[in-house]
C-alpha cells in the first residue's frame, strides 16, 4: 500500500499535469475494481479535471461536467495499486480499474 507521503506526491503531480484537462473517454477495463456502473463511468466523458487532493488513503479527483454537474472520483490504491499517467497509445495494463483518455494525448 502506498504510504501517505507517496499519495501526497501523486496528488501534487496530478494537479501539475492533469488539472484543466478534459476527459475524452472514460472506461473501466477491470470493472470488478470499481463501485460504479458502466453508465456512471462513461458519464465522466467530457468532464474537466480539477485540483486533485489526498484525504486519508484516498485521492479525490474532482470532475466538472460539460453540463455543469460535479463529480468526485475517489481512488484508493489498496495494497498494490498504481496510478499511471501515460501516452494514450500505450496498452492497457492488467488490472486497470479506470482509464481516462485526456485531451492532451495521455491516459
Instruction: Report all structural domains of the chain as residue ranges with CATH numbers, in order of start.
Output: 4-99 (3.20.190.10)
Return the beta strands (E) in the chain as ranges: 23-27, 48-49, 53-55, 58-64, 70-76, 99-102
In tens digits, the chain (107 residues) has pLDDT values of 568 888 999 999 999 999 999 999 999 888 777 888 889 999 999 999 999 999 999 999 999 998 889 999 999 888 677 888 899 888 888 888 889 999 999 99
pLDDT at 20: 98
Give the separation between CA 104 and CA 107, rounded to whole angstroms: 9
pTM attached to this predicted model: 0.88
pLDDT at 1: 58
Amino acid at each position: 500500500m502506498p504510504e501517505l507521503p507517496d499519495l501526497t506526491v501523486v496528488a501534487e503531480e496530478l494537479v501539475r499535469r492533469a488539472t484543466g484537462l478534459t476527459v475524452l473517454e472514460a472506461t473501466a477495463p477491470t470493472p470488478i475494481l470499481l463501485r460504479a456502473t458502466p453508465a456512471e463511468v462513461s458519464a465522466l466523458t467530457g468532464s474537466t479535471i480539477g485540483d486533485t487532493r489526498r484525504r486519508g488513503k484516498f485521492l479525490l479527483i474532482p470532475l466538472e461536467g460539460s453540463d455543469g454537474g460535479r463529480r468526485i472520483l475517489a481512488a484508493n490504491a489498496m495494497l498494490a495499486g498504481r496510478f499511471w499517467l501515460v501516452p494514450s497509445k500505450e496498452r492497457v495494463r492488467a488490472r486497470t480499474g479506470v482509464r481516462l483518455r485526456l485531451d492532451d494525448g495521455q491516459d
